Structure 1
Amino acid sequence: MTQRLTELSFDQLVEQVRACRICAQALPHEPRPVVQLSPSSRILVVGQAPGRKVHETGLPFNDPSGDRLRQWMGITRETFYDERKLAILPMGFCYPGTGSSGDLPPRPECAPAWREALLARLPNIELTLLIGRYAQSWHLSDAHRAVTANVRDWRKHWPRVLPTPHPSPRNNLWLRNNPWFEKEVIPSLQGRVAEVLGEAGR
């Protein structure tokens, strides 16, 4: 599939992604791939998979997790949803449904089908945020490390890549137990975002 995808134009590739139904039988709702990207995107945000509200609205991180993420980055909604500046490619593009302890993991079919082809069309990315275990397992060389270990070693990948915890309210306990993240990492993140976007991050 990858060879065929490389022959598509950028717009044709994104159109195919948004029409994807490869895991339709496993989803609780009609597939609705939610992605945001442009060849000029400078920052890549890699999350897990859309939640229920994102599925309903078609707008990535349009929820409390997104509010906290934008606060971490020091940017407005307007900047966040400007595809010329930010690409948003979760590990699974469709809402996978809810399990006993929150949303289910991203569907395993998604990343192998589309990810490499899409990343190859983003030549201007200067900062990639890897949010949570699934993003870090795919993008970092040590796929089996825990999120906390990856985030503690954030300087190892800086300034082009930053592993972060998920900004979900479900992670409030993690943030309370790891105050160094918001004290040490967030100021560096905001400065880097401002540098990449070239506009004081706003």
Structure 2
Amino acid sequence: MKSQPAIGRVEALTDLQQCIRQCQLCQDHGYIPVAHPIVSGRASDRIMVIGQAPGHRSIAQDRPFSGPGGRILQSWLEAAGFPAGYLHEHTYLSSLTRCDPGRNPRGHGDRKPSPSEMALCRPFLNAELRLLRPKVVLLVGTMAVEAFCGKIKLEDCIGSYIETEDGTLYLPLPHPSGVSRWLNDPAHKKLHQRALMLLADWRNRYNL
């Protein structure tokens, strides 16, 4: 049986999520026209996903990973032995920034949030990690990986993981989008499969 989180932690997370939803810092600083931060997750979640930023579909549905990337990420979880629906029902979904940065001005996908935007949001992410104390953190995409692992190529970290002093396991993953071409390389696919095998092992070992 999974132990239930302490009531105080549940209330603290509820308060934090309300603060995130009310945040308008990026709008006030002129980075985006209208702030619409989103959150998704429960204090009982033991896996946390950290992505780059929500896209327009996620904002429209008020739920992270509502677009094709979410479906791909769910398929990766299923490949590691997790059931259908696990991504949105049992995983805490977070990101480096909480609002849609808008379209890339060059016309290719979404705009990457700037270091200044990420700095404004980072206290929220740090607070979530402190409160949740997840067993596994999935770092999805280059920006999320570099935020925790430093400047590094995906091929040098996918298939490996970092374990912190408190026992949290950080697993780098490529970005689950049709825009990314990283998985087109057979060698990269093997690294990705190795990462999913690690996740499958942790699912059994830690009863995730």
Which band: TM-score by shorter chain?
A: 0.7 to 0.9
Aligned to 1:80: 87
Displacement after TM superposition at 1:136 (Å): 1.5
Which range is displaced more, 72-81 or 13-22? 72-81
Aligned to 1:11: 14
SS at match of 2:203: helix
Cα distance in 2 between the residues matched to 1:22 and 1:190: 38
Superposed CA deviations along residues 135-177 of structure 1, whole A, max 9, x for unmatched, are 122222xx1112222215x155598221011011112x31121
- Residue segments in structure 2 that go unaligned for 5+ positions in a row: 1-10
Aligned to 2:112: 105
Aligned to 2:4: none
Aligned to 2:156: 149
CA change 1:9–1:174 in 2 (3 A) is closer
Superposed CA deviations along residues 100-158 of structure 1, whole A, max 9, x for unmatched, are 232112333433342222211112x1111001122122222xx1112222215x15559
Cα distance in 2 between the residues matched to 1:96 and 1:49: 7
Q: Given residue 16 of structure 2, which amino acid in structure 1 is its aligned partner?
A: L
Aligned to 1:68: 72
Aligned to 1:5: none
Contact 1:49 1:91 in 2 (8 A): yes
Cα distance in 2 between the residues matched to 1:102 and 1:56: 17
Displacement after TM superposition at 1:196 (Å): 4.1
Cα distance in 1 between the residues matched to 2:194 and 2:32: 39
CA RMSD of aligned residues (A): 2.3
* Runs of 4+ deviating beyond 2 Å: 75-79, 106-113, 155-159, 181-198
Cα distance in 2 between the residues matched to 1:155 and 1:118: 20
Aligned to 1:162: 171
TM-score, length-scaled by structure 2: 0.78
Aligned to 1:187: 197
Displacement after TM superposition at 1:182 (Å): 4.1
Alignment coverage as a number of residue pairs: 183
Contact 1:34 1:60 in 2 (8 A): yes
